[in-house]
Amino acid sequence: MIEGKQDESIIIGELLKFGEFEKFYHAEWEPRKRNGATIDWYIDPSCKGFAAQGFDEGKPFIQLRRLPKTFDDAFLAAHELLHVIKYVDKQYLEININNTISQCYEDGEIIDLAIRLGSLFDDPVVDRFLQNVYNFYPAHHYTKVVIPDTIKSLNSVGDQKYDLPRLKQVLFYAQFALQWDSITDQKALREWRALKRRYLKIRPLVTKMGEELFSMMNKDGYETLEKQRPLFNKIVNKYTIDGYKLSDIFRI
């Protein structure tokens, strides 16, 4: 089995078999690559989703659970690649963390919250762009993977009692609602509405808070960095965990 750091050509070679990815790659990544942008690619069977993205001493990497085979795999790889593109273009929120406060929490808890805040802004924008410009089909991944995973999670836990885990539930709800906002597939939308009913029954408080955050994001707009900055500040001034305002923990 292939594992560990990979030559980019091996992974891209598989991905280019999908016409949507090929168009996306040539138009979006190749020009940046010519300007010196690079990515390290890894195959890691323990990767939680199919794909994940991160930085190693400032250098972007993408890891995949295995070599890409399906159209959904190509969509998820494109999703991570678009995160890297936003990083290369400096079109993302750079969230700084207050270390004194983050030390009061378990290792990685506050970093994880910062990542979720970033995803709240970026993931809906990334998926909408891949769908509308390059004809990827996020609705398939949402219905086949994200909804079943969410149902499993709903069946095991309701509204979290403590601020931090509950806020993470709220951020996830609002992000997913924003991601569904650009979906037009009626059959998929029925599944999303059924999931929302289940949410309301099992996590009533999270649903209420998540809907409120969703409406606020939609009203103010979050597509560009110029819109994201004031909205980010509004959000960190609105929410608190354990008596700390998020604005005391996070700064952009």
Q: What is the C-alpha separation between 205 and 97, in angstroms, rounded?
A: 27
DSSP letters along 143-166, please? Answer: IIIIHHHHHHHHHH--S-SSHHHH
Nearer of residues 20 and 123 to Zn ion, judged by Cβ: 123
Least CB distance to Zn ion at residue 126 (A): 6
Is 11 within 8 Å of 67 (Cβ atoms)?
yes
Residue 187, burial from CB neighbour count under 10 angstroms (0-12, 13-18, 19+): exposed
Nearer of residues 170 and 201 to Zn ion, judged by Cβ: 170
**How many Cα atoms occupy the beta-carbon half-sphere of 149 within 13 Å?**
11
Interaction residues for Zn ion, span 63-102 (CB under 5 A)? none
Which residues, in sequence order, are bridge partners of residue 244?
241
Q: What is the C-alpha separation between 45 and 47, in angstroms, rounded?
A: 6
Least CB distance to Zn ion at residue 242 (A): 27
Nearer of residues 73 and 123 to Zn ion, judged by Cβ: 123
Considering CB under 5 A, how many residues would be counted as binding Zn ion?
A: 1
Nearer of residues 28 and 123 to Zn ion, judged by Cβ: 123
**Helices 204-220/186-202 angle, 10° precision:** 130
Least CB distance to Zn ion at residue 162 (A): 26
Least CB distance to Zn ion at residue 75 (A): 11
Nearer of residues 150 and 247 to Zn ion, judged by Cβ: 150
What residue type is assigned to position 235 of the chain? I
What residue type is assigned to position 17 of the chain? K
Site string for Zn ion, 119-158 (x = CB under 5 A): ----x-----------------------------------
Give the range of 94-102, 115-123, 154-162, 236-244 binding Zn ion by CB under 5 A. 115-123
Least CB distance to Zn ion at residue 122 (A): 6
Which residues form the interface with Zn ion (CB under 5 A)? Answer: 123
